[in-house]
Amino acid sequence: MDKKELAKIIDHTNLNACAKEEDIKKLCDEALKYGFASCCVNPYYVPFAAQQLEGSNVKVCTVIGFPLGSNSADDKAGQAASCVAEGAQEVDMVINLGLVMDGKWDEVYEEIFAVRCAVNDVDTGDDRKIILKVILETCYLNDEQIIESCRCAKKAGADFVKTSTGFGKGGADVHSVELMRKTVGDELGVKASGGIRTYEDAVAMVNAGASRIGCSSGVQIVS
């Protein structure tokens, strides 16, 4: 895969708890230079990233309920709406893994739907659609749980399903990406994230069905 084309599907990411403003500026500058799809930052830095990327094709992405996913549905919906109002164009939410483990699929669907409705209701001043990605944290899930989580995301109107936060015990793997792609078909995107550090890693995920790559090693991958 051509590296310039690969750059277009990379979410250039810095979710380090100790990230400083200069680190986020560097992230944005690199995204502009290499033509990455988005900059993914913690909610606090959404306004700053939006300012840095204003007028460009690079989107502002943020994370909700991150990294544990154990916030209430109302908390997730409220934070997502606030981030969109501050300039986020893509929202990556972590589902409640406790609900998944208990097999409470109606509640998994309801919290994803709550975030979908919350970001849809924000007046952004234009017609752009807010992209919603649902993080499953596949390292903790069996195949059945991955499949059911994908079905909930699809039913709730998400745009992507995503493998991992990068903060769990494991990251993206080919098997999970293939299973997610098979489950959602062509209607949703699949984002592989967590532990992707080389060009070969990224291409393997794309070949498995990923349409977006989340990583902090984007510059190394496409250089």
185: left (phi over 0), alpha (psi -120 to 50) or beta: left
| Structure-token pair, residue 68 | 């544990």
Q: Which of 59, 76, 191, 201 is the catalytic position? A: 191
Q: Which of 11, 76, 162, 201 is the catalytic position? A: 162
One-letter amino acid at 212 equals R
Q: Is 169 a catalytic residue?
A: no
- Look up residue 35 and give its DSSP letter: T
CA distance 22 to 25: 5
CA distance 28 to 8: 14
- CA-nearest of 67, 11, 70 to 37 is 11
Q: Is 92 a catalytic residue?
A: yes
Q: Which of 11, 76, 92, 159 is the catalytic position? A: 92
Q: How many helices (H) and strands (E) does the chain have?
A: 10, 8
Q: Is 76 a catalytic residue?
A: no
| DSSP reduced 3-state for 161 | strand
- Active site positions, annotated: 92, 162, 191
